[in-house]
Amino acid sequence: MRLLLITLLLLSNITFAQHHNETQKLDDSPIVDSLPSVYYEFVEVVGILTTDEIIALIGEPAKKINIKMQSSNNIIASTWYYHNLNTDESGKYFPTTELDIIDGFVESVTFMNNINESNLTEGTQFDVKKQDNIF
């Protein structure tokens, strides 16, 4: 009887271990397959995407400004500019959309009515809401 109990216990442990050794495939599909053009919907979605996912969806920005650490030359923040990307409620395009990126994620979005990024112009800025837990 003991031998039978020990054998069953060992077999169950081996079966349990084999079940957990199976490699699980991760889903490589993106969280979203397109970004909305309406500004308030864009702000809600863009915060959950990495910079690589953003580039895959809408392409490289028209202009990038990187802020680097002087000691290590590592990029610590970036500002990306896109043109005619987002619309207001009436469907009119903002000439410039600015994405402020820290640690690989968008922190704020500014919609500007001036195409020239070199001038400091006022725009409508939105802080991106971070999700505590995506899953």
Domain-located, residue 30: no
State the distance between the two ends of the chain, measured CA to CA, in whole angstroms: 47
Instruction: Quick: pLDDT tens for 81-130.
Output: 999 999 999 999 999 999 999 988 999 999 998 666 555 555 677 777 76
Domain-located, residue 77: yes
pLDDT of residue 59: 95
Instruction: Quick: pLDDT tens for 18-50.
Output: 555 555 555 566 678 889 999 999 999 998 999
When pLDDT is cut at 50, 70 and 90, the band that residue 73 belongs to is confident
Domain-located, residue 23: no
50: containing domain: 36-135
Split into its structural domains, the chain has a count of 1
pLDDT of residue 111: 93
**Residue-wise over 16-42: b if at least 16 C-beta within 10 A, else e?**
eeeeeeeeeeeeeeeeeeebebebeeb
**Distance from C-alpha of 121 to C-alpha of 89, rounded to nearest angstrom:** 21
Domain-located, residue 130: yes
pLDDT of residue 77: 94
Instruction: Quick: pLDDT tens for 8-21.
Output: 566 666 655 555 55
Domain-located, residue 98: yes
In 3D space, the residue among 106, 132, 122, 135 whose CA is nearest the CA of residue 44 turns out to be: 106
Domain-located, residue 115: yes
Q: How far is residue 53 from each of residues 16, 21, 46, measured CA to CA in Å?
A: 37, 31, 10
Domain-located, residue 123: yes
Q: Which secondary structure element, helix H or strand E, spans residue 124, and what is its range?
A: strand 123-127
Domain-located, residue 13: no
